[in-house]
């Protein structure tokens, strides 16, 4: 095998940058080249030392400007080795940039996909609505709780003055006032109330005015 003229591969060999075929060729060359063996002995710790250098310092070694106060010295490191280090570092930076970009894109996609799910309000266990002959409309969402039932009231075209309350009647005929509010000029209301009556025991919900007159009734089957 002709192994002459392979000295230029020394830097890449020291840094582990040769493929299998070129490594075998260079190792065969080493058997007959005392100069390359001696130089490898001097440079065997170079990869670890160069990897420990900050990127600007490693790039400066390849021929970049030196500080004005530093004396001019011939670099003890072959130019081929330094070129290989610079190429190796550029490849490493590109790989990290691609990895970071992929992770960021995945996180963004996950956030976009999961956002609507995370922001979706909890669904009620039951919903009822009623519309009276005078145009009054209101709905009640019922949510089962350990302590009883939570009620979310939404109304439109409601009376624009006075005080109103929502009463819950259980299946034994007992009543409990869940919430009360003052009418708004717009006729719209959104109120949350609560009752100790469990959802399964609710027989109906009544809207009453300040004189305790029933304005609208929702029957719960």
Q: Give tens-digit pLDDT for 167-195.
A: 999 999 999 999 999 999 998 999 999 99
- Distance, in Å, from the CA atom of 8 to the CA atom of 36, rounded to the nearest integer, reads 10
- Distance, in Å, from the CA atom of 29 to the CA atom of 92, rounded to the nearest integer, reads 29
pLDDT in tens, 91-144: 656 765 665 566 566 656 666 665 665 566 678 999 998 887 777 888 999 999
Q: Are strands 148-156 and 137-145 parallel, antiparallel or unpaired?
A: antiparallel
Domains of the chain by start residue, with CATH: 7-116 (1.10.10.1320), 126-219 (2.60.40.200)
């Amino acid at each position: 095998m002709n192994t002459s003229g392979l000295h230029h591969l020394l830097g890449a060999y020291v840094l582990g940058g040769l493929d299998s075929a070129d490594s075998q060729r260079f190792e065969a060359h080493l058997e007959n080249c005392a100069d390359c063996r001696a130089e490898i002995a001097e440079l065997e710790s170079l990869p670890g030392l160069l990897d420990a250098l900050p990127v600007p310092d490693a790039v400066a070694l390849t021929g970049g400007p030196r500080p004005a106060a530093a004396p001019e010295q011939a670099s003890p490191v072959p130019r081929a080795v330094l070129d290989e280090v610079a190429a190796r570092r550029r490849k490493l930076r590109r790989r990290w940039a691609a990895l970071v970009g992929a992770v960021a894109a995945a996180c963004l996609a996950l956030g976009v996909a999961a956002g609507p799910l995370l922001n979706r309000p909890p669904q009620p266990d039951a919903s009822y609505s009623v519309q009276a002959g005078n145009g009054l409309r209101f709905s009640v969402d019922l949510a089962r709780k350990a302590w009883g039932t939570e009620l979310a009231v939404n109304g439109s075209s409601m009376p624009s003055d006075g005080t109103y309350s929502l009463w819950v009647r259980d299946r034994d005929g007992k009543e409990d006032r869940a919430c009360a509010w003052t009418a708004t000029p717009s006729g719209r209301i959104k109120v949350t109330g609560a009752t100790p009556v469990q959802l399964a025991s609710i027989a109906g919900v009544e809207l009453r005015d300040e004189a305790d007159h029933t304005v609208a009734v929702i029957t719960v089957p």
